[in-house]
Amino acid sequence: MGSRNQSQGKLSMYRRFFSPPKKESYFLFGPRGTGKSTWLREVYPDAYWIDLLNPELFRFFSAGPERLRTVLESHKGQKTIVIDEIQKIPTLLDVVHSLIEEKKGYQFILTGSSSRKLRNHGVNLLGGRALLRHMPPFFAKEIGNAFSLSRNLKLGMLPIVLDSESPEEVLRAYAGIYLKEEVQAEGIVRNIGDFARFLEAMSFSHGSLINTSNIARECQIARKTVDNYLLILNDLLLGFQIDVFRRKAKRGLVNRSKFYFFDSGVYYSIRPQNLHDIESEKEGAALEGLVAQHLKGWIDAQQKPYALNFWQTQTKVEVDFIVSGPDCFLAIEVKNGTQVHPHELRGLEKFQEDYPQAKPLLLYRGKTPYKEKGILCYPVEAFLKEIDPGLPLYSFNGL
């Protein structure tokens, strides 16, 4: 069976933090360009590989998913099987399910950059017989000294972008590739122009509460269409939403979710360039998103149940992120300035009044860690460089 050629480039210089299951079969989901295939080829060099982006293989297995069993029987020495982009042929999962049930010693690694087809076909991820793992963009710590906050705010953390000799060009093309190959080719939306305008409109909601009525009015589409488009963004792994933290709430809280594109560079590339734009506002949203994607990446890698939320009262007192779990309760505010002003601590102070057990943390663009009113003010660049899925989130000096 044919396989996709992979450029090793600079990607091979970096060790991903991802730890795969040793013997169990698993799904590996992640947006396009996060390096799933590159990583798998390095970790499983002898695996039997089925790339469903290959037109010949796609036609072969689409015509008869049960052919997978015949193919594997003719390669009896192969026990590790990678099926790349499994969402292209969801019915293959019925065969995979059967082979796992027969306990023939196979380990299936099933990659995907979209969960939409799997969900629409009623696939239940093999009924729990395969684990679910995520491959996020790079963590800052993974690329070490190559990480520069000012640079990566705009370029983001996608391996396919950072591995390129022309990263800005690759980033500009990224959203277009999704529109053409995932949205248009699969017939996910009726009007690709409406969806493209929706993407641009959502770039102004990055790091903000979602107001579907305003987005519908701006794009001149129905509100139900906006709701559907938001679901598509989630399914394609292009964006994610976080809900307000409500545990034992003592104040009136907002009822809407906040939205983030999965990568700060993708956000920067989608947001239109206007002469009247205030760069600090765009940069501030990108910074908050960069922190969000690191926190989400850390949470997705954990075996224990952690949650990522935000906190905002009806009187607009807010905290950007609440990370909670069995051994973690952090309240995190992100500021784009190099100095911290007393009024910027108000949200954390109010949250701590309601939740005194929470550890408050303000991240800013300065260089020096210090405490103000009992709240740790910490350089955001240093914080990002210290996030490691294999370590507690609060393990750095200061908390």
Task: Report the pLDDT value the prediction gives residue 272, as an integer from 0 to 100.
Answer: 87
Given a cut of 60, whether residue 12 has pLDDT beyond it is no
Task: Report the pLDDT value the prediction gives residue 8, as an integer from 0 to 100.
Answer: 47
DSSP conformation letters of 326-342: TTEEEEEEE--SSS--G
Task: Report the pLDDT value the prediction gives residue 127, as an integer from 0 to 100.
Answer: 61
Task: Report the pLDDT value the prediction gives residue 125, as an integer from 0 to 100.
Answer: 59
Task: Report the pLDDT value the prediction gives residue 145, as an integer from 0 to 100.
Answer: 92
Q: CA 96 from chain center: how many Å?
A: 26
**Which tokens in the block code for residue 112?**
């995907």
Task: Report the pLDDT value the prediction gives residue 131, as an integer from 0 to 100.
Answer: 86
Given a cut of 50, whether residue 163 has pLDDT beyond it is yes
Mean pLDDT of 111-117: 79
Please give the mean pLDDT across all residues of the chain. Answer: 89
Task: Report the pLDDT value the prediction gives residue 380, as an integer from 0 to 100.
Answer: 97
Task: Report the pLDDT value the prediction gives residue 7, as an integer from 0 to 100.
Answer: 42
* Euclidean distance between CA atoms 27 and 123, whole angstroms: 13
CA distances (Å), origin 172, targets 72, 88, 98, 268, 332: 40, 25, 42, 9, 31
* Euclidean distance between CA atoms 174 and 229, whole angstroms: 18
On whether the CB atoms of residues 321 and 309 are closer than 8 A, the answer is yes
If one compares 243 and 113, the residue with the highest pLDDT of the two is 243
The pTM for the full model equals 0.91
Q: What is the 3-state secondary structure (H, E, C) of 282-320?
A: HHHHHHHHHHHHHHHHHHHCCCCCCEEEEEEECCCCEEE
Query: How do residues 200-230 score in pLDDT, each as one tens digit?
Result: 999 999 999 999 999 999 999 999 999 999 9
For the chain, list the domains and their CATH numbers. Answer: 11-134 (3.40.50.300), 140-386 (no CATH)
In this prediction, residue 395 has a pLDDT band, given cuts at 50, 70 and 90, of: low
